[in-house]
Amino acid sequence: MSIKFNLVQKANPQKREEASKWYAVPSSESAMSGKALTRAATANTSTSAIEMEAAMEYLAAFLPQQLLQGHTVKVPGLGSFRVSFKSKGVGDISTFNAGSMISDVRILFTPDRALRESVLGNVYFENGGVLKDGVRYASVTDYLKAIGEAGDSGSTDGGSDSDSGSGTGGNPL
């Protein structure tokens, strides 16, 4: 399978004086609903979709409880969840104030090795077009035509616009 991307022109936030460059950004598809996910995941199994949906709801209720107790939660086949944060340092331990010195609290997810390898080892990219000033163009060629820069010297897409699944010429990364 291939992951679609769009080309978007952006300035480098660390070098604003430089000219904007074109970057590939993932073309996000709409999320699958919980019911659709459980139906697809339980197809051809003896587990019913409603059982899986209930198990996922129980897990979602269980995770915050465990994370707030400081535990790392490992979900077999999926990965681990844990809480992380940043902290300011002090020279004198008696002056440390957790309320004002701990910040940027977040939940981190680390995918299971097998999950990570199954996705990253099989990823291919497909050019999904160009996004410029809120307008989506189907391909680089279409964008260049729209701005009056299209030439007749062959493809200017820098990749495949087809559904071949190897928008990078067979290079998975």
User: Would you give per-residue pLDDT tens digits along the chain (173 residues)?
Assistant: 788 888 998 888 788 888 888 889 888 777 888 889 899 999 999 999 999 999 999 999 999 999 999 999 999 999 999 999 999 999 999 999 999 999 999 999 999 999 999 999 999 999 889 988 888 899 899 999 999 887 654 444 444 444 444 444 444 44
Residues 8, 35: Cα–Cα separation, whole Å: 33
Cβ contact 134:100 at 8 Å = no
- What Å distances lie between residue 56 and 2, 5, 38, 106, 111, CA to CA? 27, 30, 9, 21, 17
3-state secondary structure of 127: strand
